[in-house]
């Protein structure tokens, strides 16, 4: 399958593309400068105006932006349009600290569906497909973005959302699903559970898998493809930038093509902020070129990858970044949900009876991420009845679930059994990084 959704843009010449990028960049910068006081203020303090950016290379004169800017501008401070022109709001997970809020105008939703249509077609989907979306719906961007893209190409969408594996398989069989979307670990979990639940995957109609929201290796891809009898591709998105639709794999499965007519991509040294040479790993940075409600300028994603401008066998001109396996910060991705250790700490510190000593243990069991939080309890808690301890444990689990959006397992341990940590990174034990499946 070698299909391209939008030949005009996906295969346009590099010179023509650069011309288009510069035109759109200058428009975006003027738009952000005039409508977002945050950008106006920061560029003014550097004595910069949009008209000073005369080439794509001039972009590096502008300061970076980051997640913290979203938090500080909570909820709508970075919007370039009044709320009456914003048709959709999404956020990052988390309820306690200010989540990242993003908004889409009518034009943005149209752009988003176009970009996700490219993603779907590059992965092998077409208008006759029945697509089962097992990404979580709600405030997160994954499900909605890909739904719009699949509807745009004329596919039939089943918004199954996550969980209830038996029901997923039931739908897959009865509704004759041909395309599955979700996190790769959930796909692998479904594959492992199917025989137990009485389903033969080879008898289903599945052809294509579009997976993302978490790091996964080529070995894991091979495993999913072999078990599910499908072709699986990686999709990449960052909600602050747009969600899914930033970049995507083609059938060549050798890096993810960035939708460069809508985003400028940079790879920088996370320490110095300087550009790194093509092929060398650094932090992915994106600038939106067409967004109306929420233009993003030099947004640091925290994701590490390298960039290549080598021509791709599929015919697309867009640069490719390598698969993202790690980050510059301590963010964990648990079943496709972003979790920061600080969020866990904040919840624990609120609850009475917990010593300030805890450890976060992340592992992958039966293809699913498991998050365990080990907590020391105060000595006066221990002689109490087991029942009380269990209630306490459930209470902590529930509070963490509310904050994180995923349910961790909480294990209470005796005082002085958890090592004393000097840095935050030591506190997290992530066996997925060495387990060979991540």
Q: Which residues bind Zn ion (CB under 5 A)?
A: 250, 252, 312, 314, 316
In 180-311, where does DSSP find H-type helix? Answer: 184-196, 218-228
Q: Whose Cβ is closer to Zn ion: residue 6's or residue 252's?
A: 252
Rounded CA-CA distance 262/309 in Å is 17
Distance CA 181, CA 227 (A): 16
| Nearer of residues 265 and 312 to Zn ion, judged by Cβ | 312
Q: Are 61 and 54 in contact, with CB atoms under 8 Å apart? A: no
Q: Which residues, in sequence order, are CB contacts of 13 under 8 Å at separation 6+?
A: 317
Nearer to Zn ion, 38 or 236 (CB): 236
Which residue, among 233, 221, 17, has the nearest Cα to 118 in the 3D structure? 233
Min dist CB 237 to Zn ion, Å, is 18
Closest CA to 102 of 70, 149, 134: 70
- For Zn ion, give the closer residue by CB, 137 or 251: 251
Q: How many CA atoms lie within 13 A of 91 on its CB side?
A: 16
Residue closer to Zn ion by CB (options 316, 335) is: 316
Secondary structure letter of residue 322 according to DSSP? P
To Zn ion, the closest distance from the beta carbon of 316 in angstroms equals 5
Report in angstroms how near the CB of residue 212 gets to Zn ion at its nearest.
17
Identify whether the C-beta of residue 192 lies closer than 8 Å to the C-beta of residue 168. no
Residue 319 or residue 362: which is nearer to Zn ion going by CB?
Answer: 319
CB of 208 to Zn ion, least distance (A): 16
CB of 250 to Zn ion, least distance (A): 3
Q: How far is the CB of 103 from Zn ion (least distance, A)?
A: 31
The alpha helices in 270-419, defined as continuous H runs, are: 341-350, 386-404
The dihedrals phi and psi of 62, each to the nearest 5 degrees, come to: -85, 150
**Residue bearing tokens 């309890």:** 377
């Amino acid at each position: 399958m070698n299909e391209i959704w939008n030949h005009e843009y996906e295969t346009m010449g590099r010179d023509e593309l650069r011309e288009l990028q510069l035109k759109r960049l200058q428009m975006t910068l003027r738009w952000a400068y005039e409508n977002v006081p945050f950008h106006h203020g920061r560029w003014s303090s550097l004595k910069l105006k949009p008209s000073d950016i005369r080439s794509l290379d001039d972009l590096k004169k502008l300061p970076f932006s980051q997640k913290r800017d979203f938090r500080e501008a909570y909820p709508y401070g970075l919007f370039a349009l009044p709320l009456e022109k914003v048709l959709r709001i999404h956020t990052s997970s988390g309820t306690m600290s200010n989540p990242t809020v993003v908004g889409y105008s009518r034009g943005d939703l149209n752009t988003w569906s176009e970009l996700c249509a490219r993603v779907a077609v590059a992965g092998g989907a077409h208008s006759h497909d029945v697509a089962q979306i097992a990404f979580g719906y709600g405030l997160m961007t994954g499900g909605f973005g890909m739904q719009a893209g699949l509807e745009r190409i004329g596919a039939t969408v089943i918004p199954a959302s996550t969980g209830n594996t038996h029901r997923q398989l039931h739908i897959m069989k009865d509704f004759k699903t041909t395309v599955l979307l979700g996190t790769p670990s959930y796909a692998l979990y479904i594959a492992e559970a199917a025989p137990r639940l009485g389903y033969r995957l080879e008898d289903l109609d599945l052809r294509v898998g579009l997976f993302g929201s978490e790091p996964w290796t080529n070995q894991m891809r091979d495993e999913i493809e072999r078990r599910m009898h499908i072709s699986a591709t990686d999709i990449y998105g960052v909600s602050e930038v747009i969600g899914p639709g930033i970049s995507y794999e083609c059938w060549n499965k050798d890096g993810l093509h960035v939708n460069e007519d809508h985003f400028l991509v940079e790879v920088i040294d996370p320490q110095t902020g300087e550009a790194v040479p093509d092929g060398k790993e650094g932090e992915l940075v994106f600038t939106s070129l067409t967004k109306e409600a929420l233009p993003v300028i030099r947004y640091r994603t925290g994701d590490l990858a390298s960039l290549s401008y080598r021509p791709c066998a599929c015919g697309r001109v867009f640069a490719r970044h390598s698969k993202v396996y790690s980050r510059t910060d301590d963010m964990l991705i648990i079943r496709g949900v972003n979790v920061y250790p600080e969020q866990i700490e904040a919840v624990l510190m609120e609850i009475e009876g917990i010593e300030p000593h805890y450890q976060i243990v992340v592992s992958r069991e039966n293809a699913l991420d498991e998050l365990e939080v080990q907590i020391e309890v105060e000595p006066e808690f221990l002689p109490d009845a087991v029942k009380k301890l269990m209630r306490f444990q459930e209470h902590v689990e529930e509070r963490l679930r509310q904050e994180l959006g995923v349910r961790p397992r909480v294990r209470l341990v005796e005082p002085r059994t958890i090592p004393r940590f000097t840095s935050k990174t030591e506190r997290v034990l992530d066996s997925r990084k060495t387990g060979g499946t991540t």
